[in-house]
Amino acid sequence: MNGAFDEIRGFSGPDAVRPEFEALTRWLTETPASELARRQQAAETMFRQLGITFAVYGEEEAAERIIPFDIVPRILTSREWKRLSAGLTQRVSALNAFLSDIYGKREILKSGLIPEQLILGNPQFRPEIVGSRPPHDVWAHICGIDLVRTGPDDFWVLEDNARTPSGVSYMLENREAMIRLCPELFQMFPVQPVDSYTDLLHETLKSVAPIGSGSDPVCVILTPGHYNSAYYEHSFLADTIGIELVEAADLEVDDDKVWMRTITGRVQVNVIYRRIDDDFLDPLVFRADSMLGVPGLISAYRAGNITIVNAPGTGISDDKAIYSYMPEIVRFYSGQDAILPNVQTFRCREADALAYTLDNLDKLVVKLVDGSGGYGMLVGPTASSTEIEKFRAALIAEPHRYISQPTLALSTVPTMTEKGVAPRHVDFRPYVLSQPDGVKLVPGGLTRVALREGSLVVNSSQGGGTKDSFILFDTGSGD
């Protein structure tokens, strides 16, 4: 597919198989197509019964959809995971140091490494919390780092998600589906488990509770409600961890402390895992019209009586213009080069980058610096002339709102299609948790797959699906 690296066959063509994946190709060859189709249908039925859906905004009908799931797993060796783990740990540690710095001493701005206006003038920078410190100085407790692959050892960071990263419930449910529907694969491959994620998440929430919260701090998940696109995940995590799922009306602030209303009286809350954006957290500080937030929450946060996960203000690290400086940010705070490189990025706020982007719109991917979910994006090679000209006008009008990147030949993996098993492009989102004593990962992540032939857009809202990600144990065979 367009010269892309195939994770099973490498660059060698349809008849070649990388030795560590011979068992998978045998399974695909020896399992009748009708049986693969039956299992695929069974997975869809299972997800429908569980209610694993996502909402598509802007559509009057079919607003709730089942995210497509593919039963052919994506496999990463222990050697590959070891490198990814080291790179993710380094990157998220640098992100936390960066957030602590820009809301504190601003040493990186004093160094001149990043333009001051890019931080202080950024819509996601929250001056309201400058000088406030989250308990234990952990800012981005939960990060989803989007990775793409272009070769055997070529992994690139595509995006950082440190605001309210979603999708981990799909990682966990995908594994459950695979264990039930394709148990033989777990006999063929030494797959590392991912079911410890919810325990690790609960451990993370409790570890960052304010000092004095006791040995069993009260943690809750704050959801905007069942109309939110990720509501299934909110309820899934609360139920699996065994903590309360609350909405704003369930909470109140009194004497700079957060209380949860229950049928037996008020209970003080120590940690809020919020699944709403900063703008809606507290109508007394951010958007006054917010019905989703808790009045006085930021006052309680400033007083050190509540931990908000992720901390207010972390959204600035999702900005794609900030992303373009991540190699420098990693070097500034760690003294080392980034293990996982960025995709080459052109900041359209800069005249030379804008000129290059305008001259090459048909070859580049152009993104809003604050965009997400595959929206507000131009994929030049597959865009119509009308779409290209629309983006050209938008770039000229507001160049600071955009970055551009070369179109990468994302790796492909075998995927079930209506015409049988065929290669499709994928990305990978591992979930990285930060505790006071360091960064923690489970050996897994969410593989998103572009189900349309030739498509590079993997977002579920844009027609993408998901598949299980097998991270293999190190068996001493040289993986």
Q: pLDDT tens digits, residue range 238-261?
A: 999 999 999 999 999 999 999 999
CA distance 295 to 293: 7
Over 60: is that where the pLDDT of 373 sits?
Answer: no
Provide the pLDDT for residue 52.
Answer: 76
Predicted model pTM: 0.93
Provide the pLDDT for residue 228.
Answer: 87
CATH of 346-407, picked from 3.40.50.300, 3.30.1490.270, 3.30.450.370, 1.10.3720.10, is 3.30.1490.270
Scanning the structure block, which residue is given the tokens 């572009």? 450
Provide the pLDDT for residue 62.
Answer: 42
The mean pLDDT value for 155-178 works out to 94
> In the structure, what pLDDT confidence band is assigned to residue 48 with cuts at 50, 70 and 90?
confident
CA distance 394 to 390: 6
> In the structure, what pLDDT confidence band is assigned to residue 230 with cuts at 50, 70 and 90?
confident
CA distance 354 to 360: 10
Nearest Cα neighbor of 359 from 402, 397, 392, 334 is: 392
Nearest Cα neighbor of 202 from 168, 231, 232 is: 168
Length reported for the chain:
479
Nearest Cα neighbor of 107 from 322, 311, 329 is: 329
Q: Mean pLDDT in the chain?
A: 92
Residues of the chain with CATH 3.30.1490.270: 346-407
CA distance 269 to 203: 16
CA distance 16 to 10: 8
Query: What amino acid occupies position 189?
Result: F
Nearest Cα neighbor of 467 from 7, 67, 88 is: 67
* Bridge-based pairing state of the strands 307-309 and 154-161: unpaired
Provide the pLDDT for residue 54.
Answer: 59
The mean pLDDT value for 100-125 works out to 96
CA distance 252 to 297: 8
Nearest Cα neighbor of 96 from 310, 342, 417 is: 310
